[in-house]
Structures are given as structure tokens and as C-alpha cells.
Amino acid sequence: MNTAPDTPVTQLVTGPAMTVDMNQAAAEVRAAMNRRGVLFAAVCQDGRVTAVLDRRNLNRQLAAAGRWLRVRDVVHPGMACLRPTATVSAAARLMHITGSAAVPVVDEHHRLIGLVTADAVAAVGTPAGATPV
């Protein structure tokens, strides 16, 4: 990829991203993620993106706790989001701080544009101290 770390994250956004609700059954969400072939889904609560659901983590949680889980039992709300003007370096720093392998990119009305993944950021290369997870 021919992108510099100061490039806007919109160059790396995957979208449209799958969105799920906090109250959805986790097993149903996993099945939908498998059907669509996605590793991450944006979790919305009251119309705002509040978390990112990682299918690998979801699989572990369902294996341990059973099929009665809801999305809210698997994610931790309060995810920081990026604006389209944020840089790839900012995405890498946020992933490093939060430990998340994907970060939502939202517009000024907090509507989801898409997700930026750690794999996409790593493909660009990031400065020292901003290593993605």
C-alpha cells in the first residue's frame, strides 16, 4: 500500500461496516458475521457507535459462557471513535491504547462511515510508539 502514516484514515476505511445492537443475541450475531465473512462489527446503542465487536473474542466468549449471551455481555461500551480527518498514526495510537484491533470512523453526527483495522494500519507502517495491536 502506498500510504503514509499522516494520511487520513478514510483511505483505509472498510465499509460499509456491519452494525449490531447491544441487545442482540451473540450467537445470532456470530452467525451473521460468519455469513458475511467479517471479523468486526460496530456496536450501536441509542443510534451511536459505542463499541467494536471482534468475532474472535465473540467465539471465545460463546465457547466459555454459552449461547445465551447478548452482545452487551461481550463488549465494553465507551469505544473512542475517529473522525475522517484523523491520521493513520492516530488510528494506530488509539488501537494501541485501547487494545482494540479495529476502530470506528464516524462523521460529525456520529454516524458510522466504516472501520479501520489493525491489519490495514500495519500495512501502512506506523511510527515508533504507535504500534497497532
Order of strands across the sheet that contains 19-21: 19-21, 40-45, 48-54
Per-residue DSSP letter, 17? P
Residue 93 has pLDDT above 60, yes or no: yes
pLDDT at 1: 46
The pLDDT of 111-126, averaged and rounded, is: 84
Q: d(Cα 75, Cα 90) in Å, to the nearest integer?
A: 22
**Do 80 and 103 contact (CB within 8 A), yes or no?**
yes
Q: How many residues does the chain have?
A: 133
Neighbouring residues of 83: CB distance < 8 A, sequence distance ≥ 6: 105, 106, 107, 108
The pLDDT of 6-34, averaged and rounded, is: 88
Question: 3-state SS of the chain: helix, strand, coil percent to 5?
Answer: 35, 25, 40
Per-residue DSSP letter, 52? E
The pLDDT of 17-32, averaged and rounded, is: 93
Which stretch, 4-8, 19-23, 45-49, has highest mean pLDDT? Answer: 19-23
Orientation of helix 55-65 relative to helix 26-36, angle to 10°:
140
